[in-house]
Structures are given as structure tokens and as C-alpha cells.
Amino acid sequence: MQKTPVYPVIVSMGNDIQDKSGEIISDSPDFTIEVGRALGMGARAGDVFALFGDLGTGKTIIAKGIALGLGIADEITSPTFTMLEIYENTPPLYHFDLYRIDRTEEFGMLGFEEYWYGDGVSVIEWAERAGDLLPPGAVKIQLFHLDENRRRIIIEHPAH
């Protein structure tokens, strides 16, 4: 039997963070996964989640949650060396890690933009490295390290 998560801070955003911009303070990796899961549950083909934050702020943890929300039970790891991991699903999940991209011009030659406008849900770690190439409809998620366990998560939907 799966445990039903409780989202005390997410409830304050209207219990539906798929369409709302706002700020959440997470006090644990488990809570951060649940934030991602809530986002993933409302994701549709063509949605793009652009993750911003320093090393260790929880970008991959949010990505794991989004995958869980989409119904993907695979182990989600950051595709740092391959830059793209595809998880077969309906819709598929395209998980990008742009950490190794040094210049926007370099990114443009990889053809990743095709996925962002395709039939899947895209999660982009180190999204700042894509520069102006990010789709205008991307949900921007900024993660900030507050202390060993706590993270500030700012979610910005394009309509806000």
C-alpha cells in the first residue's frame, strides 16, 4: 500500500501547484520529491520544466519526483555524461543535464530543442546553460540551498 503524501506547504499554494507560481520551503529530500511528484501529476506532453540551482540543491530530486508523478518507477539519475536520458512512458520523459555545456552555441548543435517541442515531458537540469533557447512556455524552478536539509524552491509558471 502506497503512503499518501501530505503537502502542508503545497496546500497553502492552493493544493494544485501545476498552475500556480510560488515559493516552497522543503525540509527534506522526501518533501522535495513530493513537490516534483505534484508537478509531474499535472504534466502533459509538451511541458518543459527548467531547473536552476547550484550543485546539491536538489535538481535531480525534483526530476525524480516529476518522473514519479508521470508514473515512471525507473531509477532516475542525472544524465551528466550522456546529457539526455529518455524514459519510455505515455508521455515519454526526456531528462536533460546541461552541466557540461560551456556555451549556448555548443548547445544549439546538439538538437535538444526538438524534444522540447515534441511529444514528451522535458526536465532540464542546469537550464541556465540553454540561454535564450529555452521554450517560452517552460516552467522555471529555482532551487536554493538553505542548510543541510532545507531548500527554497521557487516555481514560476509562464502565465504568471
Give CA separation, 114 vs 97, 120, 133, in Å: 16, 10, 11
Structure pTM? 0.86
Kindly list the structural domains of the chain, giving each domain's residue range(s) and its CATH number in brackets, ordered by start: 22-156 (3.40.50.300)
What is the chain's pLDDT, residue by residue, as a tens digit (160 residues)? 343 343 444 444 444 566 678 899 999 999 999 999 999 999 999 999 999 999 999 999 999 999 999 999 999 988 777 788 999 999 999 999 888 877 666 666 676 777 788 899 999 999 998 888 889 999 999 999 999 999 999 999 887 5
The Cα 4–Cα 69 span in angstroms is 13
